[in-house]
Structure 1
Amino acid sequence: MCSCRIFRLYWFFFRIRNKIMNILFKHISNILFEIENIFPVPKKVNNIHSKNDFKYKNIHKKNPIINSTHITPLLIIISLFISHYPVECKQNDYRDKFYEIINSKNEKIKFNDSENSTFILNDFNQWRPKVALALSGGGSRGFTQIGILKTFEKENIPIDYIVGTSIGAVVAGMYAVGYSPFEMDSIIRNTNWNDISAIADEENRSDYFLDQKLIRDRSLLTLRFKEFRFVVPEAISVGNKFNAFLQRLIWNGVYHDNGNFNSLRIPFKAVTTDLISGETKLLNSGSLINAIKASSSIPLRYTPVRIDSMILVDGGLMANIPVKALNEFNPEIKVAVNTVSPLLKYDELDKPWNIADQVVSILMKKFSDSASIDADIYLQPDLGDHKNTDFNNLDSLINIGEIYSKQFCNQIKNKYVKILEQKINQKLSSLIKNINAIQINGFYTPDSLLLQNLNGNNPFDNSKFISILANIVTKDIYQSVIFKKLPNNSLQINAIQYDKIKKIKIFDASSSLTNISFIDINELFSDSLLNYKNFIKISESILKKLRKAGFSFSEISDVNYDYGSSELQYIITTLKIKSIKIEGAENYNFLVKRELNFSEGHTASADNLVDSWENINSLDFISNVEMNLQKDSNDSCLNVTIKVKDIGDQTIRLGLRVDNERFSQLGIDLIQENFNNLGTRLALRYSGGLRNQSVNLKAENTRIFNTFLTSALSLYYNNINKYIYQNVITSNRNKFDKKRIGETIEEQHGASVMLGSQIERKGTLSGTLRYENFRNWNDTNEIKPHFKSFATIKISTIFDTEDRTDFAVEGSLIDMSLESSLFSTKDKISFSKVYFHYHSNNSLGNHTFKPSVSFGFADITTPITEFYSIGGQDLFFGMREDEIRGRQIALASLEYRYKLPFTIFFDTYSSLRYDIGYVWENFETIKISNLQHGLGGILAFDTPVGPAKFSIGRSFFFLKNPNAVSWGPVFGYFSIGLKL
């Protein structure tokens, strides 16, 4: 049971008492107003209030009844009795409570007018003209719509309903859950949209444990099977990064839909296309996140969204400018924004995917042409040739929308005022017919003067009167305006002003809010009128402060107003998780629950929910994870339903690499995930080419049961050929050459057992027992030597926070280990070695600096198969792979990488790297003078088959007596594909 239940029970009995008082109040109020009709001049009585014992606050109400100086003492006594009646509020939506607060005052104003000579004008926000906005698709071009919303908000143009297609659904959804256009502007500018929209890296590397990272880093293509049947992917990408971004935004929004999009700040509909029926579908209930995903799910690129019997994709296929969808709201003004991309030009139709896109665009254009006719106001900003896939310079798009939309503001306002005047005229037509003057009471001076000036006109100017009234009610500074036609054909107009809020008080019903101060809200809104606009501003300010403090699911459960002290009182309830239900994959329930960062009874937060969602997605055999939150109808709690899709736990992962050292290489992983329904992974891996082969059979647990312990059992075989090089002294002491003098072959097979602990999802601390048989020989040997063996124990830690394997822009890697012989084998080989490596990525814009340092030491008995080595494109410029080998290593480098502002087919990078280091055979031979230097440059491309790197480099070292520099030959390198 949630902590707020006791409070709810108490509040329930309190409401029963209020209901009884409400009935009594209505009857007495009618009697009072019958008496009031005798007197023409309304005045307010003094504040009269009583205290009601309430757990959090004594609730005071004043009787704002219109009265006269001639009311008898008896009526005053009656009004004292009525003042005990407190404001009653519903529990469903705090916005309804505003009208209940106001109506508790208005309900005391009753008319018994058989001649229809009296009318009260109030609740302006409910009957004013309604404006509906339709936002089109258009990819990145759609962010122009944020600029348009900024202008509308600056110009006080209300948006009452909103519909969006594709990117328009994203913008509309953000606006509907309570983000202001200025907040949306900041979010869009500070989001890496190229990363979110990328197909190749659709997951964050940081979401995976180290063993998962290693598997994914070497995989180019993944073929998935379920019960040995191939699973055909529905699309190129699931869109996990976009989904995570969307969920965090929605759950941190001011308003939560709770399954009904009409309960958002602005009623919202997402436009989608159903592949089953071939029809446009408007989603206004269910999961808001799914609705936005469905509307923006581009066929083939992103997985479609399945809801009930529908398969939903991008709504732009049939309604890219969804003006007709606005008709369901029945608004008075329909505004449409078109940011759709124009058709491609002749010279752009040179690629098959461009042609396919053009065909779809032509079909979409057919449905979109009528939008300009159906809309009352049609906005189509000129975005030039900005492509819908270009997410650069988004700030300029927003600025274009902001500037362009200014020219339409007066047009919208004029139409709005015209309809408003028609509505007022319709309401007052019978009262203002044949009037010759007006009597004014209760208005602020400027408004009073405007109305009073009409009395000088003969005949009375009804149209100007309606125009002035429209202007007055639009400001919403009067709670009610009461019109009464008098027998002499004059019109008496009495205005009741809104109360001014003196104080705002906030009560924590769940006792969850700590260290949150609302003093600034009090200061900001003190002396504000208690009208709807200010009420919403205050309420949203409270909720935004709570969201910022991490209380994503704290809500306003009740609002009261003390008319005696002019105190606005909020009761805040923080929702806790009542139940967790998992649907879709019974075999994986244990693994799914294990990945949750929350549990029943805990306070819900967007960060924990999104982190848990990302954790579940990191399970390689689960996809299309949905996390639906439903508020419990009886408690202030959340029921969490997690829906998952089993996409098959058998995979074949393929990797490929071609380079100048080992030519073509292939990597194949055959993997069975979740072997025993406890998360065990069985994997058989082969990698290699003509000069190296490796086979590994492994059983590993990323996590053992509910702990963060990890384990692995491995059987392996390695065979690798390594060239032997020698420096050649030339006649020019400023130059040296290199010569390949032979080749060594190393063969190893053995077994290892690892037990360790995960360090969050960033690394591991582990101990490994290894037993290995090895041998090595030169290519000149006619007879292969016998195998020798050793047994070691290794303590190691790896800490990997890089955001990408290649072209990382942030994060670092630490790899350190200590290995020593465990016991002496029959070959009496015993050795110890220690190793440390560190590199980091530090970026500023497109510039990245990558410092790196490595060192290692081993004793003299260490066999050659355990030697350290340097050389090659990635390790030391000016040397060939494994050119220098030994038992001691010291190496450092500094790389500068720049991402070019243009692409050569793919994202293009240029790099410079300086290396310094050496490898010595024994510790006693270490000399600083032996250090060699390397310098080289790289041109690299981020291709779909992995990084393609082309580089040249040269090594050198310093001479003494006399001082000089000796340069080695210039080497060229290339590599295409992933590291295997």
Structure 2
Amino acid sequence: MMRKDRPTEMRALLTIVGFLLACVAHAQPTVALVLTGGGARGISQIGVLKELEKAGIVPDIIVGSSFGAIVGGLYAAGYTPTQIDSIFHTIDWDDVTSFSSDTQRESLFYSQKQENDRSLVTFRFRNLDFVPPTAIGGSARFSELLQEVLWQSPYNSVTNFDSLVCTFRAVATDLGTGQPVSLKSGNLATAMRASATFPLRYAPVRWNTDTVLVDGGLVANIPIDAAIALKPDIIILVNTTSDYATISSLTTPWAVADQALTAAMKQRDSEHVKLADFVLEPDLGSTGTFDFNDIDILIRAGEMEGARMAAQIKARLKPTSGAMEAGAAQYFIKSVVVHSTFGADTMALVKERITDMIGRDWSPQFKRYHQPRFNESLHRSGHALAFVRSMGYDGPSQTLTIDVDLGIPTLLTFDRLEELRRSDIEREVSFKNGKEVKQADLERTWQNMHASDVLQNADVMVSRNADSGVRITMRAEDRGNQTIRIGARIDNERYTQGSVDIIHENLFSTGIRVAVRGILSQRIGQISASLELPRIGGTLWTASLRGYSSFRDVWIYQDEAGRPATEPMPQRIDEYSEDRYGFRLSAGRQLERNGVLLGEFRYEQQRYRDLTADADPSFQPLATLRAVARWDDRDQTDFASRGRTIDLTAESSILSLSNSLSFTKFTAAASAVVDLGSVVLTPGASIGAADRTLPSPELFSLGGQDMFFGWREDQQRGRQIVVGNVDARIKLPLRIFFDSYVSLRYDIGAIWENPENIRIGDMNHGLGLTVGIDTPVGPARFSVGRSFFFLDDPAAIGWGPVLLYFAIGARL
């Protein structure tokens, strides 16, 4: 038996020896490409990569610092320079660099949306110790951008940076020691973010329990030392670091911070530049660190510099580094065999890749080029984590054998820092162990963790097992279990308003949430306390008990006597207050993260009090049962570009607990945001109906900047209501300090005292123009509106007065 197999063994040995001799014969110098920081200026590095590849110069090593780590990391993950170009063109850089809240509203539960929408400032505490913020803005949008792009990359499950398309190092600054750190393993997206985490703008990255990292540019803006440590033969430096900005351009805090950092970085830059064999410096003029407006110009500048230097670099490479030239090709590929458990070789895109491989020559560089392309075909075929586990060539049969792993998660691990339970992370997971995972599942899990009230610095890392499948590690730390949220608003109806929410999360590790809320202004006030179970047993079932006391002042309007029917002039004639105190007990189920179905019992004492009367009426008891269905998946409340809202309620009083008061009340409201490109349309409608026995504190109201232009808030009140509107909004090309908008809204509606009064001819109309500014203190909206209506006898159009409105801050 041994003699029978000896020829086969000999052929295999000769194949290996021949391959090794081919490699030696075509030994080439190892090339390291060093990519510096420079913010937006670093985009020009894409152009340099394009031209180097075009000339057959492919780096064996990439070392990147700050923005260079982003460009270099994407390249090492298997993206081509052309693909990186396309990725950068699809990014909304204004959004990534914005200082506004970076929590994705769609990833929040319905109750979280309400809290977030009304919060201006949030203070966090851990066991009553204040947890200070580590940055002006959050890092979630930046992190999510990098993570999503890398989950789509050919090497989305590689955590050893030596096993990427080329060896890669991301250089960051260790805040504990002040020294540069060359990251060589871990979550690639997190490593890239750590290297590019601009201090104060983005929160530092907690790499492990002992290491906190920020921008590598602080101590190694030109990370040539990290490249030298890898012992390359040739070092190519692409220097895109910033020059000093002019004094006149230092008009923002981040511009001043960037100038200060530039001054610190420049001290050693000149020394590091001298250590490179080739230095490429694209002509970027006065482009600033945060100037992402001219991506094409920046890439073109890099292409010009790359083309200028390519011939000089190529002359040093004998043979050309990394080039797939005919001389290096030794073995013809006659057939390709794919081993997989899911029929990978039957997929159309994989078949195309196999066809492309057949007829080519196996060479030392074949795997480098074709393996990421093969992985990409698997991902585009719907298998997000599938990958080539091995690729080998058999000389005697001229066969290329590819072993494909589907990337099934065989192990979920939870890396918890500080006082976290496994269940705090586990309940946010959107996939199951042992089942194939889609990219959407990973993204949803990541978003869920970042939207959690108890987690921060969340991370999701996919890594390959030694034998088969992948391991998915969820990592997070405690956000702090106490929160104080402050809200503020000023408008022309309710004047100055303030609110505070004091919240204790996860009381005694039971999942119970305790909250106290207060609102105070001249015309509205509320104090409430609640016990909540947001997710009973980690499920989507929820329950809450809330006790409250509140008042709300309501102006009473009447048209001025003696005026023409076509020119009404409403006047305030009285003011009432809706006073109530009681409790609400609710339970139900959350609909994914954007909606809720609830059943609610309400018991309260209420009264409708004339503020000008000498004596106050007594409180009357009221008990009701209510069914609620709500949905809100808008990306934001005031300047939404997508999403819809639905609000349905049905409520009936309990006769025995309501002093013999019996009524039934229904409401339905819906709106949708339609993005037409340059214009965003938001049509909406709402209706409400109730018995004639509906008490005054429960009446519907019509009017105001948000509801009906040309009328004041609460100008009309009744028991039946119909309202429809269409809003058309455009974003102004010029910012009024912040993102600015102009919108035109048409309203149609009416309100009636009792059902028998309903007439279609009673419909009123409103038109209004609004200038909106998305400020850090909330939306600022300034409007002018006017109502009109049609008269039958005689036929005429009546016009209400022109009214001005303003509101600054979120609705409380």
Q: Same fold by TM-score, threshold 0.5 exceeded?
A: yes
Post-superposition Cα deviations, 1:499-555, rounded to whole Å, max 9, x if no partner, equal 322322211147799866622123223311222344433322221112223433323
SS at match of 2:560: strand
Aligned position for 1:856:
688
Aligned position for 1:3:
none
Post-superposition Cα deviations, 1:204-237, rounded to whole Å, max 9, x if no partner, equal 1111110111111111111111111211222233
Aligned: 1:891 with 2:792: no
Q: Which of 226, 231, 241 is the matching residue for 2:131? A: 231
Q: Which of 231, 251, 256 is the matching residue for 1:355? A: 256
> What TM-score do the two structures reach when normalised by structure 1?
0.78
Quickly say closer, same or farther: Cα 1:82–1:104, change in 2 above 3 A: farther
Larger radius of gyration: 1
- In structure 2, give the amino acid aligned to 1:288: L
Q: Which of 180, 188, 208 is the matching residue for 1:288? A: 188
Cα distance in 1 between the residues matched to 2:423 and 2:19? 57
Alpha-carbon shift at residue 665 of structure 1 (Å)? 0.5
Aligned: 1:595 with 2:428: yes
Aligned position for 2:220:
319
Alpha-carbon shift at residue 764 of structure 1 (Å)? 0.8
Aligned position for 2:244:
343
Q: What is the 5 A alignment of 1:44-83?
A: 81-83=6-8
Alpha-carbon shift at residue 361 of structure 1 (Å)? 1.6
Q: Which of 604, 627, 636 is the matching residue for 1:772? A: 604
Alpha carbons 2:330, 2:363 under 8 Å: kept: yes
Q: What is the 5 A alignment of 1:535-574?
A: 535-563=367-395, 565-574=397-406
Cα distance in 2 between the residues matched to 1:142 and 1:835? 55
Give the stretch that moved more between structures: 248-257 or 917-926: 248-257
Aligned: 1:175 with 2:75: yes
Cα distance in 1 between the residues matched to 2:295 and 2:688? 48
Alpha carbons 2:344, 2:350 under 8 Å: kept: no
Cα distance in 1 between the residues matched to 2:322 and 2:612? 100
Quickly say closer, same or farther: Cα 1:346–1:562, change in 2 above 3 A: closer
Cα distance in 1 between the residues matched to 2:609 and 2:70? 64
SS at match of 2:426: helix
Cα distance in 1 between the residues matched to 2:206 and 2:666? 54
Cα distance in 1 between the residues matched to 2:93 and 2:552? 43
Aligned position for 1:267:
167
- In structure 2, give the amino acid aligned to 1:476: E
Alpha carbons 2:413, 2:473 under 8 Å: kept: yes
Alpha-carbon shift at residue 187 of structure 1 (Å)? 1.8
Alpha-carbon shift at residue 367 of structure 1 (Å)? 2.4
Q: What is the 5 A alignment of 1:772-811?
A: 772-811=604-643
Alpha-carbon shift at residue 285 of structure 1 (Å)? 2.8
Q: Which of 193, 200, 205 is the matching residue for 1:305? A: 205
Q: Which of 540, 545, 551 is the matching residue for 1:708? A: 540
Aligned position for 1:747:
579
Quickly say closer, same or farther: Cα 1:325–1:204, change in 2 above 3 A: same
Aligned position for 1:67:
none
Alpha-carbon shift at residue 885 of structure 1 (Å)? 0.9
Cα distance in 2 between the residues matched to 1:406 and 1:761? 51
Give the stretch that moved more between structures: 612-621 or 746-755: 612-621
Post-superposition Cα deviations, 1:782-826, rounded to whole Å, max 9, x if no partner, equal 111111122221112111110012211111111111112244335
Give the stretch that moved more between structures: 967-976 or 560-569: 560-569
Alpha-carbon shift at residue 366 of structure 1 (Å)? 2.1
Cα distance in 2 between the residues matched to 1:161 and 1:281? 17
Aligned: 1:971 with 2:795: no
SS at match of 1:591: helix
Alpha carbons 2:282, 2:304 under 8 Å: kept: no
Aligned position for 1:620:
453
Alpha-carbon shift at residue 925 of structure 1 (Å)? 1.0
Quickly say closer, same or farther: Cα 1:400–1:322, change in 2 above 3 A: same
- In structure 2, give the amino acid aligned to 1:601: G
- In structure 2, give the amino acid aligned to 1:625: A
SS at match of 2:557: strand
Alpha carbons 1:790, 1:830 under 8 Å: kept: no
Structure 2: gaps (5+ residues): none
Cα distance in 2 between the residues matched to 1:357 and 1:563? 57
Alpha carbons 2:419, 2:478 under 8 Å: kept: no
Cα distance in 2 between the residues matched to 1:86 and 1:730? 111
Aligned position for 1:865:
697
Quickly say closer, same or farther: Cα 1:123–1:831, change in 2 above 3 A: farther
Alpha carbons 2:496, 2:521 under 8 Å: kept: yes
Alpha carbons 1:173, 1:268 under 8 Å: kept: yes
Aligned position for 2:442:
609
Alpha-carbon shift at residue 247 of structure 1 (Å)? 2.1
Cα distance in 2 between the residues matched to 1:849 and 1:319? 49
Cα distance in 2 between the residues matched to 1:601 and 1:415? 51
Aligned: 1:207 with 2:120: no
- In structure 2, give the amino acid aligned to 1:207: S
Alpha carbons 1:509, 1:571 under 8 Å: kept: no
Q: What is the 5 A alignment of 1:357-376?
A: 357-376=258-277
- In structure 2, give the amino acid aligned to 1:82: P
Aligned position for 1:333:
234
Q: What is the 5 A alignment of 1:514-529?
A: 518-529=350-361
Cα distance in 1 between the residues matched to 2:227 and 2:450? 36
Cα distance in 1 between the residues matched to 2:321 and 2:541? 70
Cα distance in 1 between the residues matched to 2:279 and 2:105? 43
Q: Which of 78, 96, 121 is the matching residue for 1:221? A: 121
Quickly say closer, same or farther: Cα 1:104–1:834, change in 2 above 3 A: farther
Quickly say closer, same or farther: Cα 1:82–1:855, change in 2 above 3 A: same
Cα distance in 1 between the residues matched to 2:438 and 2:364? 29
SS at match of 2:58: coil
- In structure 2, give the amino acid aligned to 1:215: E
Post-superposition Cα deviations, 1:686-742, rounded to whole Å, max 9, x if no partner, equal 113011111221112221113211111111212011101112356555422111111
Alpha-carbon shift at residue 178 of structure 1 (Å)? 0.8
Alpha-carbon shift at residue 394 of structure 1 (Å)? 2.8
Cα distance in 2 between the residues matched to 1:903 and 1:256? 38
Alpha-carbon shift at residue 404 of structure 1 (Å)? 4.2
* Percentage of identical aligned residues: 37
- In structure 2, give the amino acid aligned to 1:240: A
> What TM-score do the two structures reach when normalised by structure 2?
0.94
SS at match of 1:807: coil
Alpha carbons 1:87, 1:561 under 8 Å: kept: no
Quickly say closer, same or farther: Cα 1:397–1:958, change in 2 above 3 A: farther
Alpha carbons 1:920, 1:926 under 8 Å: kept: yes
Give the stretch that moved more between structures: 544-553 or 871-880: 544-553
Alpha-carbon shift at residue 279 of structure 1 (Å)? 2.0
Post-superposition Cα deviations, 1:429-479, rounded to whole Å, max 9, x if no partner, equal xxxxxxxxxxxxxxxxxxxxxxxxxxxxxxxxxxxxxxxxx5899663246
Alpha carbons 2:600, 2:625 under 8 Å: kept: yes
Cα distance in 1 between the residues matched to 2:84 and 2:335? 30
Alpha-carbon shift at residue 84 of structure 1 (Å)? 5.3
Alpha carbons 1:767, 1:794 under 8 Å: kept: yes
Give the stretch that moved more between structures: 968-977 or 497-506: 497-506
Give the stretch that moved more between structures: 654-663 or 893-902: 893-902
Post-superposition Cα deviations, 1:746-766, rounded to whole Å, max 9, x if no partner, equal 111121111111111110111
Alpha carbons 1:754, 1:766 under 8 Å: kept: yes
How many residue pairs get aligned? The number is 810
Alpha-carbon shift at residue 121 of structure 1 (Å)? 5.4
- In structure 2, give the amino acid aligned to 1:348: S
Alpha-carbon shift at residue 175 of structure 1 (Å)? 0.7
SS at match of 1:518: helix
Cα distance in 2 between the residues matched to 1:239 and 1:514? 42
Q: What is the 5 A alignment of 1:414-813?
A: 414-416=315-317, 420=318, 476-478=325-327, 498-509=330-341, 518-563=350-395, 565-575=397-407, 576-633=409-466, 635-728=467-560, 731-813=563-645
Quickly say closer, same or farther: Cα 1:136–1:898, change in 2 above 3 A: same
Alpha-carbon shift at residue 198 of structure 1 (Å)? 2.5
SS at match of 1:329: coil
Post-superposition Cα deviations, 1:668-697, rounded to whole Å, max 9, x if no partner, equal 001011114242211110113011111221
